[in-house]
Amino acid sequence: MQYSKRILDLKDSPLRKLTPLIDEQKKKGKSFIHFNIGQPDLETPSCFFEAIAQYSHHNVPYAPSLGITPLIEAIQGYFQEQSVSFQKNEIIVTTGSSEAIFFVMSAICDPFDEVLIPEPFYVNTVTFMKQLDVVVKGIPTSVHDRYHLPSQAIIESKITPRTKALMITHPNNPTGTVYSYEEMLMLKEIAIKHHLYLVVDEVYTGIVYDNITSRSFASLCGLEDHVIIIDSVSKRYSSCGARIGAIASRNHGLMREIGKLAQARLSAPTLDQVGAVSLYQLSSSFIESCASTYEKRRNAMINSLLEIPGCHVSIPEGAFYCLVDTPFNDTEAFARWCVEEFEVDNMSIVVAPAQDFYLEPHLGRHQIRLAFVHEPHIIEQGMKLLAQAILQYSQHLHF
């Protein structure tokens, strides 16, 4: 039997491809500190579970395709705290941000249309586009300026008649970059000038450091037809498994079209929507508290990394990831070696090789992405293991 070329062209997730090897080692009694997946370890707010426990109906029906009204209103309130106003018909609830991205790209792109995205990027975003035969073109960024955007001229040089959208994650995964207000205005000018959509994944909004201001792209005036916001409860509220996301846009025609896709998949999970209402109703002080916790974790990781010979890291301004330059030119092999061969007192680490975060894999072959989603003492323990792993692997390569 044959498979589609579309599925054969897709790659295994760089974040999860090592899972079978890890499971095999765990059966042998080996333990791991996971830095490969952005799975927050902070407690999911108890209000989520309480809301579901109070659900009093005797069965679980389909929810309305666009989302239950209390959740849409709660999402409105969340944006209102950022001085951003959305009407009810400008919000659609989705099954996580993944479905939201897939819906948006399905609605704005035909096969072989192009989307520009800063490189490196969140790898699954590109996977969704490839499923739709959308062509991804990278906007180059550099560790030397903390992965901020290049000049407007460089970005515009990438635009062709087939370009339909700019897409960014803000704050960024995997770099931790928070775009400045000037960069936001530049993207606004480009979107208007070239009649492009500006698709912004804002699932890490509020998780920012060093007193940086967190702004939504929906706060920019004049982009009503252009800006499409992707959101989710996964990261801010430590609720990755709840699988509730949202699309917010003031482009009413576009939202009507996306509504067709929402109807076709029937609805996002009913009980998760019930729980998510309470999450979106939490005040901004809750998110600020989480950000303060992650900032301490970031500092613990960065301080440790700066002491490891051969490593270079750009200090993240938001989200909870950092990209690390290593002494090696094949970090996929290094990551596998850490799982299968390396251990100290039966303990090892899991890191994410970064080559799949780039369109040209050679650009990231020397990098790993680390997620600082553990308590500082665990991070410090993990960084000591990383230092020993780098030393031993260097000796292994030169043996």
CATH code (residue 241): 3.40.640.10
Examine the fold and report which residue of 282, 313, 334 is the final residue of a domain before the chain moves on.
Answer: 282
Distance separating alpha carbons of residues 247 and 283, to the nearest angstrom: 21
Note down pLDDT in tens along the chain; length 399 residues. Answer: 999 888 888 877 766 778 999 999 999 999 999 999 999 999 999 999 999 999 999 999 999 999 999 999 999 999 999 999 999 999 999 999 999 999 999 999 999 999 999 999 998 888 899 999 999 999 999 999 999 999 999 999 999 999 999 999 999 999 999 999 999 999 999 999 999 999 999 999 999 999 999 899 999 999 999 999 999 999 999 999 999 999 999 999 999 999 999 999 999 999 999 999 999 999 999 999 999 999 999 999 999 999 999 999 999 999 999 999 999 999 999 999 999 999 999 999 999 999 999 998 789 999 999 999 999 999 999 999 999 999 999 988 876
Domain assignment present for 399: no
Considering the domain architecture, whether residues 161 and 76 belong to the same structural domain is answered as yes
Considering the domain architecture, whether residues 103 and 177 belong to the same structural domain is answered as yes
Q: How far is CA 10 from CA 330, 337, 351, in A?
A: 20, 24, 21
Domain assignment present for 184: yes
Distance separating alpha carbons of residues 283 and 265, to the nearest angstrom: 31
Considering the domain architecture, whether residues 261 and 294 belong to the same structural domain is answered as no
Distance separating alpha carbons of residues 165 and 110, to the nearest angstrom: 12
Q: What is the number of structural domains in the chain?
A: 2
Distance separating alpha carbons of residues 204 and 171, to the nearest angstrom: 6
Among all chains, which residue has been given the structure tokens 């850490």?
A: 338
- CATH number of the domain enclosing 23: 3.90.1150.10
Considering the domain architecture, whether residues 96 and 21 belong to the same structural domain is answered as no
Domain assignment present for 71: yes
- The answer to whether 165 and 108 have CB atoms below 8 angstroms apart is yes
Distance separating alpha carbons of residues 60 and 271, to the nearest angstrom: 7
For strand 245-248 and strand 91-94, is the pairing parallel, antiparallel, or unpaired? antiparallel
Considering the domain architecture, whether residues 256 and 117 belong to the same structural domain is answered as yes
Considering the domain architecture, whether residues 136 and 258 belong to the same structural domain is answered as yes
Hey, is 358 helix, strand or coil?
coil
Examine the fold and report which residue of 265, 282, 299 is the final residue of a domain before the chain moves on.
Answer: 282
Domain of 294 in residue numbering reads as: 5-43+285-394
Say what the pTM is: 0.95
